[in-house]
Chains A and B, each alone.
Chain A
Amino acid sequence: QSALTQPPSASGSPGQSVTISCTGTSSDVGGYNYVSWYQQHPGIAPKLIIYEVSKRPSGVPDRFSGSKSGNTASLTVSGLQAEDEADYYCSSYAGSNSWVFGGGTKLTVL
């Protein structure tokens, strides 16, 4: 069970769009539509922003969207705002009642 692969950093200017990738294998990301994304600001517990690849929990702005192609999932943040600057983590079900996280991506709003 290896961690999912995310780029360490991403950046964009206010109003722009940025996409963060999350690459796994056919045993996790590619095998199930059970990818989640979390936003974490410093010193605070992570917040669920996307579940089951592309669904948004109540209260999460539609600027956040998720998708998946093969073994790679993606999170897109549109219309970047200053408050979107945070760390983002993906996770996936990996079968046999196990779950795995990505290493995290630090998003900077320029």
Chain B
Amino acid sequence: QVQLQESGPGLVKPSETLSLSCAVSGYSISSGYYWGWIRQPPGKGLEWIGSIYQSGNTYYNPSLKSRVTISADTSKNQFSLKVSSVTAADTAVYYCARHPRSGSLDYWGQGTLVTVSS
């Protein structure tokens, strides 16, 4: 059974960098599939942030591309997200998930709330 688990600080100060990790069990992240990050501001809809494929190629939402970096650590079977220069608008529940090229997110983490506040 594929399982994903997000981890990272729940509170980040404005202008700083948000950093999250997603630990994957039950499937090797280097064996195929895209591994993505999605966020959901409180009371709002879902937004695709970006994805990494085969632990190498990265793809980002154009609206966030200048501030986002996704990387993978195959030795730990996990992938990570960094969002720089955060503002209150980056406050959201952040999810990690697995998907094929079609984009169907079949396995999700439980999500982690990140609040941007001083």
User: Interface stretch among B46-54, B71-79, B83-91?
Assistant: B46-54
In chain B, positions 73-118 with a C-beta closer than 8 Å to chain A are: 95, 99, 101-106, 108-111
Q: Do residues A101 and B62 form an inter-chain contact, with CB atoms below 8 A?
A: no
Q: Do residues B104 and A48 form an inter-chain contact, with CB atoms below 8 A?
A: yes
Classify chain A's interface size: 20 to 34
Picked from A36, A38, A47, A89, the residue with its CB within 8 Å of the CB of B102 is A36
Q: Do residues A1 and B104 form an inter-chain contact, with CB atoms below 8 A?
A: no
What is the number of residues of chain B that contact chain A, defined by CB distance less than 8 Å?
26
Other A-B pairs, 9, CB within 8 Å; known A51-B104, A99-B99, A100-B48: A1-B63, A36-B105, A46-B95, A46-B108, A47-B108, A93-B102, A101-B47, A103-B45, A104-B45
Q: 19 interchain pairs (CB within 8 A)? A: A32-B102, A34-B104, A45-B109, A45-B111, A48-B104, A51-B102, A52-B102, A89-B45, A89-B46, A93-B102, A97-B34, A97-B51, A98-B61, A98-B62, A99-B99, A99-B103, A101-B46, A101-B47, A101-B48
